[in-house]
Structure 1
Amino acid sequence: MTDDQKETLLIVDDEESILEVASEYFMTKGYHVLTAENGRIAADIIAQEKIDCCFTDINMPEMDGLELAEHIRKVDNTIPVIIMTGYPSLDNTIRTLKNGVVDFLIKPVNLNQLELCVQRVLRERRLFIRNIFLAKEVEGKKRIEDLNRELTYKVSELNTLNRIMTDFTTISSSTDLFKRVVDLSTELTHADEAVFYVINEAVKQPVPVARSHSGGNGNGATSTDAAAIRKTGGPDLSNLILDNSEEDKPLLIQDAGRVPGLPETLRSLMLVPLNIRKKVFGVLAVSVLDGEVRFSEKDLYYMSFMSNKAAYAIENIALYENIYENLFATLYAFVRAIEARDPYTEQHSNRVTRIAIALCQAMGGSQEDQDILNVAGQLHDIGKIGIRDDILLKPGRLTNEEFRIIKEHPVIGAKIVERLGLWDREKHIIRCHHERIDGRGYPDGLSGEQIPMLARILSVADVYDAIASDRAYRQKMDESEILKIMYGGSGSQFDADVIETFRRMYEKGEFAQLLDEVL
């Protein structure tokens, strides 16, 4: 193929609009474009046409994108496959790597970036094919060794890009993301230091939020303490960073000693802006402070690629956190509405949550466990929204049928949370918070280790607050009666270890202090 001839692209997507826009764009660029609505049709085209590159969506009828990628790998492993999806996940990313996918793009994809991706992939494919022919023709050992080194470099580059891409699809908080950016920067470039600065317009100064120091060996430790970052004695790059954020272009200084005005402690430097919605959000500063390492154009390319992926991840995290907070606020409003129906139980969910978290912490529970209890505790009675007032607020003893209806509230609550698709462990805890160690609880009659530990903790907190508070059908119990029920239920109604922790905390007056804070 001559240089002025463009290759054939196959674009596979079940959305007609995407096929039309992408095919028209690449045809105007001189490419020969074929389209298919799903993987099965694409496989038929590949059997009849010579294809140089394939773009495919993941979720499609009849044959999805991952099945298509596996089919292409088997019939012609020289055809590069680029996956496009609007719903990235760690599982899909791992499966694409196993199927030989060369890139993984997150929708919506900018057409210019898509073309750059095509150019890079096709350039590497031409090199790959040329090297295959060369390996067949060249008999000399030295030439073959050179070829292998070149291929190894290309594989290493692709693995690096895939690693960057994978790392940022699994991070769920902005703090962890900033840490990963600086850690990966020192590891990939063998830099001495990497600092991520947020550009704060209010104070007109870049604010350091994460730092990694590796000494050039890639084994850095991070910190989000800005004061700790400033104490390290690194070069002052504030003015350079501000200038770079205004220009909004990556900066590479390979040998800082030849540039007047730079800090004397600096040997080599990269500044890479990170943009959110076309506006500079922060700048990544990667530095060599000692030794012979000097950054290259390849290092700058990796850092720019990482910056783009981090920007997408930050936007996704911000969107997720906003949705999560709004959703939780809505659900908790339902809980408050339930409690408002019965003034005797007002603040019950808050008190139960505080007690459960305190028990969990005293038993050595992780921060993740405590976060899970924070959600499950606040929402454990949300299923009561499906219980009629004449039963829920009945002042006298419930009939057997009424009690059967009341016992449905853990199942109703678990189903409400399940439909949201966010809190799997929390859902199980909500469903199980009325189970008993001896198997006589509800709704499933679980016993012992079948009951999640966090549900066993929540059960103790729930029962304690219920009998220590005024209810519609009775006044709160005396202290002696409360302790008799709690301690007497050890090993039958309650987990013995949880009750032992409860006993120690109660005798120290810790629960009384917690409940005073809620009131």
Structure 2
Amino acid sequence: MTDTLKETLLFVDDEESILEVASEYFRAKGYHILTAENGRIAADIIASEKIDCCFTDINMPEMDGLELAEHIRTVDNTIPVIIMTGYPSLDNTIRTLKNGVVDFLIKPVNLNQLEICVKRVMRERRLFIKNIFLTKEVEGKQRLEALNRELTYKVKEVNTLNRIMTDFTTIGSSMDLFKRVVELSTELTRADEACFYVINEAVQRPVQVARSVVGGNGNPRGKADRPSAAGDAPGACSMDVSQLILDNCNEDKPLLIHENSSVHGLPADIRSMMLVPLTIRNKVFGVLAVSVLQGDVRFSEKDLYYMSFMANKAAYAIENIALYENIYENLFATLYAFVGAIEARDPYTEQHSNRVTKIAMALCRAMGGTQEEQDILNVAGQLHDIGKIGIRDDILLKPGRLTDEEFRLIKEHPVIGAKIVERLGLWDREKTIIRCHHERYDGNGYPDGLAGEEIPMLARILSVADVYDAIASDRAYRQRMEEGRILEIMYGGSGTQFDAGVIDTFRSLYGQGVLKSIVESTP
């Protein structure tokens, strides 16, 4: 505890814990501390006490921090006001500029940093008061403009960091994330080129997986998606920097080359460069290489800070994606095991789901279906009969004709299957297809009696594939049908059981031998 009291600080916040911590810390440092729970109480204190500096939250009852700052500016514009908030926004930041606020801190605030801020603000206040006596309004205006510029710069920095964090939250695959890293690198640093390399112990050189090149107008003019070794063309960065990347991996530290010289071992065409390792679980996974190839732009410590911050966030996102993909693959394996268990109960239907899936995807592809639609059918086709796990063996494997009650029970399997998938919280469209794959185009199907366009197109495709494989394969209750009878059922169901457009495509593929080949080639 010091013998002489320092300046008087006023802390204004509606969170009692913040007031207690700040009071205890700064009293131990020798400051005189006053506290208030809101701006109205603080205004009363300022009217009766000599205040040297005020720290205030923004959101408070009765009088908020911005209103208090405006009040202080009108009462005594020599009292510096520092805003502390846990919810920064551009709107609030701009409003603080108009109220003479000298600094803008984001909670949680480190107490050591807070003390440094106090010392700086007090020093600036003394200079400010001196300037008032010497040059008054002219010097005061210049100082205020400088503070405004500093605050504007801080706002820009916060927005940049927020953008980096936000950009990675919606990315669903590792490759998309690599692409976004290099694109964002060129956008934030005015670089000419950015490449991301994966470090693989099985190869001698880093492997490039993403690249962004910027044209003279600042817009991306080319991206390489395919993997390639560093220095290879096409698809690699303009210059071979393999050895420098490997050296950087060994050091595991960001590298800034502000101005290229012979000592760096860089190609002469690179004028400025940053190398930032991406580390996952204390092991370097990849390296981001960002380069300036022309012009007067040179990278700074601030650029390196942004790239390092982005690399940390990207590493965290990659870990999450990898974990999700692993869970996703395990989930698929579990569901397919269920399907396998169902088919194992009936040797006659073994591999039925695989054949139906291949036939449905072939039909979809021939009808101009997108890759996304084919992927949906790949899941729905594999799982379309998963609901049969809830049907008793004596019904499912009955060799003779089913009774009305038995048929009613077996008709429940599309609903059971849809509910199984629904509980996973995934595949909404796949769930609908599974539920609808026994609907008929004329409305006489089950479980919902949908008709025509009410039935999803992919379900109409799956229905054709399912029926064709069922009658073209041996079953527990009958042998495979004759070829003529198969075609009679399929073509005769056009417009009644099946969508006529899907049957037209079926007719074309059957004539080419595609569908028969799928059935015969799948064990």
Q: Same fold (TM over 0.5)?
A: yes
> d(CA) in 2 for partners of 1:364 and 1:31?
71
In structure 2, give the amino acid aligned to 1:81. Answer: G
The residue aligned with 2:182 is 182
In structure 2, give the amino acid aligned to 1:412. Answer: I
Shift of 1:296: 2.0
1:169 to 2:165 alignment: no
What per-residue deviation string (whole Å, max 9, x for no partner) do you get for residues 238-294 of structure 1?
121111111111111111147553210111101111010111111100111112221
Which of 400, 406, 416 pairs up with 1:412?
416
> d(CA) in 1 for partners of 2:281 and 2:439?
49
Shift of 1:210: 1.3
> d(CA) in 2 for partners of 1:422 and 1:53?
46
> d(CA) in 2 for partners of 1:258 and 1:373?
58
What per-residue deviation string (whole Å, max 9, x for no partner) do you get for residues 291-350 of structure 1?
222112222122111111111111111111111111111111111111111111010000
Bigger radius of gyration = 2
The residue aligned with 2:77 is none
> d(CA) in 2 for partners of 1:227 and 1:407?
52
> d(CA) in 1 for partners of 2:263 and 2:442?
76
**SS of match in other structure, 2:206:** strand
- Going from structure 1 to structure 2, the CA distance change for 1:435 and 1:99 (only over 3 Å counts) comes to farther
- Going from structure 1 to structure 2, the CA distance change for 1:261 and 1:421 (only over 3 Å counts) comes to same
> d(CA) in 2 for partners of 1:474 and 1:100?
75
Describe how 1:276-291 pairs up with structure 2 within 5 A: 276-291=280-295
The residue aligned with 1:325 is 329
- Going from structure 1 to structure 2, the CA distance change for 1:99 and 1:170 (only over 3 Å counts) comes to farther
Which of 243, 248, 251 pairs up with 1:247?
251
Shift of 1:418: 1.2
**SS of match in other structure, 1:256:** coil
The residue aligned with 2:347 is 343
- Going from structure 1 to structure 2, the CA distance change for 1:144 and 1:46 (only over 3 Å counts) comes to closer
- Going from structure 1 to structure 2, the CA distance change for 1:214 and 1:9 (only over 3 Å counts) comes to farther
Shift of 1:5: 8.5
- Going from structure 1 to structure 2, the CA distance change for 1:334 and 1:31 (only over 3 Å counts) comes to farther
The residue aligned with 1:303 is 307
Shift of 1:159: 2.8
Shift of 1:9: 9.6
> d(CA) in 2 for partners of 1:502 and 1:70?
66
> d(CA) in 1 for partners of 2:222 and 2:199?
23
- Going from structure 1 to structure 2, the CA distance change for 1:98 and 1:459 (only over 3 Å counts) comes to farther
8 Å CA contact 1:186, 1:218 repeated in 2: no
> d(CA) in 2 for partners of 1:392 and 1:98?
64
In structure 2, give the amino acid aligned to 1:192. Answer: D
Which of 481, 490, 505 pairs up with 1:477?
481
Shift of 1:505: 1.0
> d(CA) in 2 for partners of 1:252 and 1:515?
60
Q: Which moved more, 1:433-442 or 1:251-260?
A: 251-260
The residue aligned with 1:86 is none
- Going from structure 1 to structure 2, the CA distance change for 1:431 and 1:8 (only over 3 Å counts) comes to farther
Shift of 1:351: 0.1
- Going from structure 1 to structure 2, the CA distance change for 1:180 and 1:406 (only over 3 Å counts) comes to same
The residue aligned with 1:491 is 495
8 Å CA contact 2:509, 2:515 repeated in 1: yes
Q: Which moved more, 1:435-444 or 1:222-231?
A: 222-231
The residue aligned with 1:511 is 515
Report the TM-score, using the length of structure 2 for normalisation: 0.75
Shift of 1:489: 1.9
8 Å CA contact 1:190, 1:218 repeated in 2: no
What per-residue deviation string (whole Å, max 9, x for no partner) do you get for residues 369-425 of structure 1?
111111111111010000000110111111111111111101111111111112222
- Runs of at least 5 residues in structure 2 that lack an aligned partner in the other structure: 1-5, 28-36, 43-53, 67-82, 94-105, 129-135
The residue aligned with 2:100 is none
Q: Which moved more, 1:299-308 or 1:385-394?
A: 299-308
Shift of 1:151: 4.5
- Going from structure 1 to structure 2, the CA distance change for 1:395 and 1:275 (only over 3 Å counts) comes to same
What per-residue deviation string (whole Å, max 9, x for no partner) do you get for residues 31-81 of structure 1?
99xxxxxxxxxxxx9899999899xxxxxxxxxxxxxx9999x96686533
The residue aligned with 1:219 is 220
The residue aligned with 2:200 is 200
Shift of 1:368: 1.6
Describe how 1:256-295 pairs up with structure 2 within 5 A: 256-257=260-261, 259-295=263-299
In structure 2, give the amino acid aligned to 1:157. Answer: E
> d(CA) in 1 for partners of 2:407 and 2:390?
14
The residue aligned with 1:231 is 233
In structure 2, give the amino acid aligned to 1:215. Answer: G
8 Å CA contact 1:182, 1:212 repeated in 2: yes
The residue aligned with 1:403 is 407
What per-residue deviation string (whole Å, max 9, x for no partner) do you get for residues 224-247 of structure 1?
323487215612211211111111
The residue aligned with 1:81 is 86
Identical positions, percent: 66
Report the TM-score, using the length of structure 1 for normalisation: 0.75
- Runs of at least 5 residues in structure 1 that lack an aligned partner in the other structure: 13-18, 33-44, 55-68, 83-95, 102-114
Shift of 1:493: 1.8
**SS of match in other structure, 2:474:** coil
Which of 467, 470, 479 pairs up with 1:466?
470
What per-residue deviation string (whole Å, max 9, x for no partner) do you get for residues 76-128 of structure 1?
6865336xxxxxxxxxxxxx989999xxxxxxxxxxxxx997459x88xx89x
8 Å CA contact 1:186, 1:220 repeated in 2: no
Shift of 1:156: 3.1
**SS of match in other structure, 2:288:** strand
> d(CA) in 2 for partners of 1:440 and 1:142?
82
- Going from structure 1 to structure 2, the CA distance change for 1:376 and 1:282 (only over 3 Å counts) comes to same
How many residue pairs get aligned? The number is 447
The residue aligned with 1:440 is 444
> d(CA) in 2 for partners of 1:182 and 1:9?
42
- Going from structure 1 to structure 2, the CA distance change for 1:420 and 1:298 (only over 3 Å counts) comes to same
> d(CA) in 2 for partners of 1:205 and 1:5?
59
> d(CA) in 2 for partners of 1:231 and 1:424?
42
> d(CA) in 2 for partners of 1:449 and 1:11?
59
8 Å CA contact 1:183, 1:221 repeated in 2: no
8 Å CA contact 2:14, 2:60 repeated in 1: no
Q: Which moved more, 1:271-280 or 1:417-426?
A: 417-426
